[in-house]
Structure 1
Amino acid sequence: MNTADLGLPVDVPSTALFTDHYELTMLQAALRAGTAERRSVFEVFTRRLPNGRRYGVVAGTGRVLDAVENFRFDPDLLGFLRDRAVVDEATCDWLAGYRFGGDIWGYPEGEVYFPGSPVLRVEGSFAECVLLETVILSILNHDSAIAAAASRMSSAAGGRPLIEMGARRTHELAAVAAARAAYVGGFTSTSDLAAGFRYQIPTVGTSAHAFTLLHDRERDAFRAQVESMGRGTTLLVDTYDVAEAVRTAVEVAGPELGAVRIDSGDLLLVAHRVRQQLDELGARNTRIIVTSDLDEYAIASLAAAPVDAYGVGTQLVTGSGHPTCSMVYKLVARADGAGPDAPLTPVAKKSSGGKTSLGGRKWAARRTDADGAAEAEVVGTGPVPDELAGRQLLVELVKGGRVVGREPLDAVRDRHIAARAGLPLSATQLSRGEPVIPTEYVHGASGS
């Protein structure tokens, strides 16, 4: 696999060091104790949604699959571990042959989730599973947070296109992942060319204020852009006086002008004035694009405005106030012995303080009402009730170390739109509230 596909610099050949120090020291101790090969089940879930959010969005699964596939310890990485004395020589020898050979099940990417949903289940030996904790969480927590914000913005936009424009507001590699997650959540394009290259997301963009300021007159800047890009281009009209710029833009490009962009001011008021002016000038098909630090609330406030598309940056790539989903990766079952047929025993943290968890390998299903709308997220151990057997949510992603769950990004995006549509209407409300459906737990014998 090309490391560029993972959003990595070309000189980083592996995802193996995208992990915490203690993952390797746990491995070393388990190898010495003879427990490293015990069959284990880890699950990723969150105990609660971010404050006020009514649903979560699973995003980053495709990147997780790439990261697992590319989790290798080459000689340079092993040399680093030896030089820093992170682990002993016996552990380095074990890591030299590391390949994940277990199974991974999870909610399909784009699906919605709720507190307690087992969004990912990783099964294999303790040794091979524990090493993946940090990289899996770093991807899912980041991408799912961005996708949840994007989903809320997409819902608020009411079908109007959304452009992801946050590359300059975050880390350069995070920007690529954010553009992908935003596309999953309902955005239609990105300004980030690396995201377009890696994930085939449509890219857009024309000019910034600097281009207008470069020229002696605004008219000269508009003329240069139209001559270069054609009359269907988008002209930025708020560098100086908006009304004058709109008039000049139509004079230069004619009524065939593709769009104007407004990046400042009272967007609701300015959009109405610009629409009226464009219509009076005969540019009735010229679209209006607004940017300027938008979030889902600002987008919703513009629902009645004659706006054709929105560009969103800072608020999107920071999760609109919630940059993580607080997902955790917990051991929920382990074998009583080292043999492959040893029965699984449920295990769980039992300490107080709100961090308890439910032991046992989980299944999950979504119960619907008579109208087909979701009414509960059901999470259980043991046999799946017959009435829920056809509504199970987890799908196979990795089998025996081989990735089997890759799919096109457009399919993921379509799934999210369908999953969101299957929730009660209150899911799209922007006001603070509890999860739109409850999580119910069914306890049974968790078996192997």
Structure 2
Amino acid sequence: MSEPTTALLTDHYELTMIQAALASGAASRRCVFEVFARRLPTGRRYGVVAGTGRVLDAIENFRFGDAEIADLRARGVVDEQTLDFLASYRFTGDIWGYAEGETYFPYSPVMVVEADFAHGVLLETVVLSILNHDCAVASAASRMTGAAGTRPCIEMGSRRAHDQAAVAAARAAYIAGFASTSNLEAGRRYGVPTQGTAAHAFTLLHDTEREAFAAQVASLGPQTTLLVDTYDVTEGVATAVEVAGTGLGGVRLDSGDLLVQAHEVREQLDSLGARDTRIVVTSDLDEYAIAALAAAPVDAYGVGTRVVTGSGAPTASMVYKLVAREDDHGQMIGVVKKSKDKQSIGGRKYALRRRDANGVATAEVLGIDELPEDDGTGAVDRELLVPLVRDGEIVGREVTTIAAARARHEASVAELPRAAHQLSQGQPAIETLFATETP
């Protein structure tokens, strides 16, 4: 079965702009569009790029077939000249971007699209819908895995999101360090490890908690994780060890004062000889709750609603702006929106991550129309934009594989200054500078 088209995952005005530009003759002007966020969510120290691989998938499948053209004609969305253009649409330009898993900051050119106006503007909505969602989830997930340290986080927010957003969120969270997901489609589609055992409904299905635990252990083995807070936690733990033995894999706590309960349950498990039984905690966790449990004897965190909704920042607030275009003489000129609170900066951007002698990032340095020079001090500055699409052909798949993105996230976050890892509200961890500025 072929992938469905992504062509109608767009806004009406993208097509009407093309109609007017075709009529005026401006549709073929060379243009540069950039994706960036003017600011990070309030108090955040950095953002994480995720969704790039999904953007490339969307571009591959951005086709107006017979059914799509017939629908647009029937609804009178655009005229016949525009429908003819759309029927033969294939993206033929170039795209550069930050590699998936990379950190970003205000005005970082996360993606740069170079094409004529008509071919470039059509991608705006679908690119933003993917990057705004996935970057928001990855940015929140990164804060959570940072707070968790070496303890694994499990993504389990599918039931709190749109069905397809849940799959994308599982992918983004895994890139940002989550160990696994409950979402089976994310496992099939992207290779994210999946796990899960039983909910309270399974316990309530049986006449007693003991019967439920016995059934689960008989089917899944003693290394399973038993949910012990359906009735009384102390009794639940005792019954779990009686049924599964001291080799019980884990117990899960999903309610109450998790800090207090974790200490009590650890003490009880140890007293029963189940010293290797893990304690997994769930229940509306976010990065702050995880940090508060740092001193508790917890072995893993299950996170749902807060990770799939960006932990209070459900969008990365990225925009897709025209920053340069061809003039009447065939020369590229910078263009800029000058609204008071929505300013953009004209010209095609190039980006370096400046680093000190210890390899710690000190600034995001952007050049206009040319790559900034390494300042010659400290570690070699890192060039951030990598080719993703060249002449319409995808060339950057290797930087969007989930394993590569996950490793890149770990390395990029480790490179940031210590302040980046604080959960308290503050300014971005490094300053964004233009090549003519000095820190």
Would the TM-score normalized by the shorter structure come out above 0.5?
yes
Task: Tell me by how many angstroms 1:441 deviates.
Answer: 1.1
State the partner residue of 1:6: none
The one-letter amino acid of 2:244's match is A
Matched, 1:120 2:111: yes
Identify which of 27, 34, 39 aligns with 2:18.
27
The whole-number CA distance in structure 2 between the counterparts of 1:442 and 1:320 is: 34
State the partner residue of 2:201: 210
Aligned counterparts, 1:189-268, within 5 A: 189-268=180-259
What TM-score, normalized to structure 1? 0.94
Identify which of 50, 54, 58 aligns with 2:49.
58
The whole-number CA distance in structure 2 between the counterparts of 1:2 and 1:216 is: 48
Task: Tell me by how many angstroms 1:387 deviates.
Answer: 1.6
The whole-number CA distance in structure 2 between the counterparts of 1:14 and 1:119 is: 24
CA RMSD of aligned residues (A): 1.3
The whole-number CA distance in structure 2 between the counterparts of 1:99 and 1:337 is: 25
Aligned counterparts, 1:343-382, within 5 A: 343-351=331-339, 353-382=340-369
Matched, 1:432 2:420: no
Matched, 1:418 2:411: yes
The whole-number CA distance in structure 2 between the counterparts of 1:47 and 1:36 is: 27
The SS at the match of 1:117 is coil
Residue 148 to residue 356, structure 1, CA distance change in 2 (3 Å): same
Matched, 1:69 2:71: no
Identify which of 362, 371, 377 aligns with 1:384.
371
The one-letter amino acid of 2:424's match is S
Aligned counterparts, 1:268-417, within 5 A: 268-337=259-328, 342-351=330-339, 353-387=340-374, 391-407=382-398, 408-417=401-410
The SS at the match of 1:180 is helix
List per-residue Cα deviations over 1:411-431 (Å, max 9, x = no partner).
101100110000001101000
Matched, 1:102 2:104: no
The SS at the match of 1:387 is coil
The one-letter amino acid of 1:381's match is I
The whole-number CA distance in structure 2 between the counterparts of 1:287 and 1:307 is: 7
List per-residue Cα deviations over 1:278-302 (Å, max 9, x = no partner).
1111111110000000000000000
State the partner residue of 2:37: 46
The whole-number CA distance in structure 1 between the counterparts of 2:422 and 2:2 is: 41
The whole-number CA distance in structure 2 between the counterparts of 1:390 and 1:75 is: 49
The whole-number CA distance in structure 1 between the counterparts of 2:436 and 2:417 is: 26
State the partner residue of 1:140: 131
The one-letter amino acid of 2:347's match is G
The whole-number CA distance in structure 1 between the counterparts of 2:167 and 2:247 is: 33
The whole-number CA distance in structure 2 between the counterparts of 1:431 and 1:386 is: 34
Task: Tell me by how many angstroms 1:391 deviates.
Answer: 2.0
Residue 306 to residue 181, structure 1, CA distance change in 2 (3 Å): same
Q: Which runs of 4+ in 1 moved over 3 A?
A: none
Task: Tell me by how many angstroms 1:2 deviates.
Answer: 4.2
The SS at the match of 1:220 is helix
The SS at the match of 1:376 is strand
The whole-number CA distance in structure 2 between the counterparts of 1:58 and 1:2 is: 28
List per-residue Cα deviations over 1:182-241 (Å, max 9, x = no partner).
011110100011111110100000000000000001000000000000011010000001
The SS at the match of 2:389 is strand
The whole-number CA distance in structure 2 between the counterparts of 1:160 and 1:411 is: 21
List per-residue Cα deviations over 1:254-297 (Å, max 9, x = no partner).
11111000000100000011111111111111100000000000
Q: Note if contact 1:21-1:86 (Cα within 8 Å) is conserved in structure 2.
A: yes
The one-letter amino acid of 2:412's match is A
The whole-number CA distance in structure 2 between the counterparts of 1:184 and 1:119 is: 16
The one-letter amino acid of 1:409's match is I
The one-letter amino acid of 1:439's match is T
Q: Note if contact 2:355-2:381 (Cα within 8 Å) is conserved in structure 1.
A: no
What TM-score, normalized to structure 2? 0.96
State the partner residue of 1:8: none
State the partner residue of 2:74: 83
The one-letter amino acid of 2:410's match is I
Task: Tell me by how many angstroms 1:406 deviates.
Answer: 1.0
List per-residue Cα deviations over 1:236-257 (Å, max 9, x = no partner).
0000011111111111111111
Task: Tell me by how many angstroms 1:47 deviates.
Answer: 0.7
Identify which of 155, 169, 179 aligns with 2:146.
155
The one-letter amino acid of 1:412's match is A
The whole-number CA distance in structure 2 between the counterparts of 1:292 and 1:202 is: 21
Task: Tell me by how many angstroms 1:443 deviates.
Answer: 5.4
The SS at the match of 1:358 is coil
Q: Note if contact 1:367-1:374 (Cα within 8 Å) is conserved in structure 2.
A: yes
The whole-number CA distance in structure 1 between the counterparts of 2:387 and 2:9 is: 24
Q: Note if contact 1:381-1:443 (Cα within 8 Å) is conserved in structure 2.
A: no
Task: Give unmatched runs, 5+ long, in structure 2.
Answer: none
Task: Tell me by how many angstroms 1:24 deviates.
Answer: 0.2
The whole-number CA distance in structure 1 between the counterparts of 2:56 and 2:394 is: 7
Q: Note if contact 1:37-1:127 (Cα within 8 Å) is conserved in structure 2.
A: yes
The whole-number CA distance in structure 2 between the counterparts of 1:159 and 1:103 is: 40
The whole-number CA distance in structure 2 between the counterparts of 1:97 and 1:105 is: 24
Task: Tell me by how many angstroms 1:442 deviates.
Answer: 2.4
Task: Tell me by how many angstroms 1:337 deviates.
Answer: 4.2
The one-letter amino acid of 2:334's match is P
Q: Note if contact 1:382-1:443 (Cα within 8 Å) is conserved in structure 2.
A: no
The whole-number CA distance in structure 2 between the counterparts of 1:385 and 1:308 is: 45
Task: Tell me by how many angstroms 1:390 deviates.
Answer: 5.2
